[in-house]
Structure formats: structure tokens, C-alpha cells
Amino acid sequence: MTLEEFNALPPEELRKQLYSCCSSVNWAEKMATLIPYTSPDHLLNMAERCWHKCKEGDWLDAFNGHPRLGDIESLKKKFRSTADIAKNEQSGAAGASPEVLEELALGNKAYEKKFGFIYILFATGKTAKVMLSILRIRLNNDLQTEKIMAMVEQNKITKLRLEKLLV
């Protein structure tokens, strides 16, 4: 859709579209109050500002809106509502060997057990092996560092999804 069409969306549809980009209700609500956006750059700039004003609980809400990296079946089943906007984000995992996907699944479990939330990575353009390598490195982080890392990655994902939303 165009920016003009985005700005003209009815409030509930606007929130739905924003929520498809980032599943933090607080972030989507903040963004909805800033309509109209004057340019795509204005939209992206405000998205980042609103994200950085969010609190840890908002970050966790957003993280919970993602499938586990490499879990292709989870992507298909659980996340149908964001499928269009999120398509190809994990395309690097689609052609991975079963062994790499299994290692990624085990790494995801270890990550979630250690940090209490799923592994968030801006996966666009990354192979499953690269995702796995980054996961192994990030497993060495402490909780506070990892929350910040995941928050930064979520911001990248949200901005890409907003860009995809607009024609």
C-alpha cells in the first residue's frame, strides 16, 4: 500500500498492520497515535523512536511474536497472520540440512532456557549455518547484554516489515 493509504486506514486496521510488523501492543499503539506520517523515512524514524521508548515487557511481547529460527513448520502454522509481511525472513533456513536445523533447534532451546525468551535475529540474507554460528556466540552473553542484542535485532526486523508494507 502507499503511505497515503496507510495513513488513511481505519484505526483497527492500522493497529493490525502495525502489529503485523511488531507484536508489541504498546509499540503499535504508540505508532497509531502518530498518524499521519509525512514520508516513509518519517515512518521508519518514528518506529525506531517508539521502539526505543518501549520497556522490557514490550520487548518480550515483540519477541513472543516470532517463530523460532529454523522452525519452518512453526512459521507456517503459528504465524499465518504475519506470513505475508514476514515471508522470506527465514528463507536461509529453508534449504538447510536436517543436521543444521536440528542443531539450530537445540541451540534455540538452550538459548530460551538461559535467557527466558526466544532467539531473535535479523535473519534476512543469512543462511542457517550463519544463524547457528551467531546463536552459539550469543549464548555466551549475559542476560542484560542479550536483551539489548535482541531488542536491536527486533528493531531491524520491524523496520524491514514496515518497508515491505509500503509500495
pLDDT at 76 over 80: no
Helix, strand, or coil (residue 90): coil
- pTM (two decimals): 0.85
pLDDT, one tens digit per residue, over 59-69 is 999 999 988 88
Residues with catalytic function:
66
Eight-state DSSP code of residue 67: P
Q: Which residue has the cell 486496521?
A: 13
Q: Is 1.10.3330.10 the CATH classification of the domain at 68-145?
A: yes
Q: Is the confidence at residue 84, as pLDDT, over 60?
A: no
Q: How far apart are the first and last CA of the chain?
A: 5
Q: What is the pLDDT of residues 89-141, one digit of tens each?
A: 555 555 678 899 899 999 999 999 999 999 999 999 999 999 999 999 999 99
Question: What is the rounded distance in angstroms from the CA atom of residue 22 to the CA atom of residue 38?
Answer: 21
